[in-house]
Amino acid sequence: MSDTTILTYIVAKLAKKKEEEQQRQQQAKNGYWQNELLSLGIVSPKESKELNDKEELENLADIIKQSMFQDYKIAYSEKGDAHKEEAQATVTVG
């Protein structure tokens, strides 16, 4: 084998390994976002097979987290106290 052939073979092998590593990293990222959605109770395991777009998964998880954070802020703010008092005022104890 000539030096050029060996060098071409080595470069091709390295490129293939790099591509495989990138694919593994992408799959790990997709798995992370699918697990985030599962932990929030949004996606069942059967449905998670259909969600493979990393950006879609990230956006969906961010929207859900923002919504939950807004609910948390309202619950522990003055408005939350007002809602709590209003709810208690409408409850009748028999």
The pLDDT value given to residue 30:
84
Angle between helices 54-75 and 3-39 (to 10 degrees): 30
Question: Could you count the other beta carbons within 10 Å of the beta carbon of residue 93?
Answer: 3
pLDDT at 74: 82
pTM of the prediction?
0.37
Q: What is the pLDDT of residues 5-38, one digit of tens each?
A: 888 888 888 999 999 999 888 888 888 888 888 8
* 58, two tokens: 């990230």
Range of the domain at 10: 3-90
Q: Provide φ and ψ at 68, rounded to 5°.
A: -65, -35
20-26 contact pairs (CB < 8 A, 24+): 26/54
pLDDT attached to residue 37:
82
Domain count, the chain: 1
Residue with tokens 């293939």: 16
Whole-number pLDDT of residue 87: 58
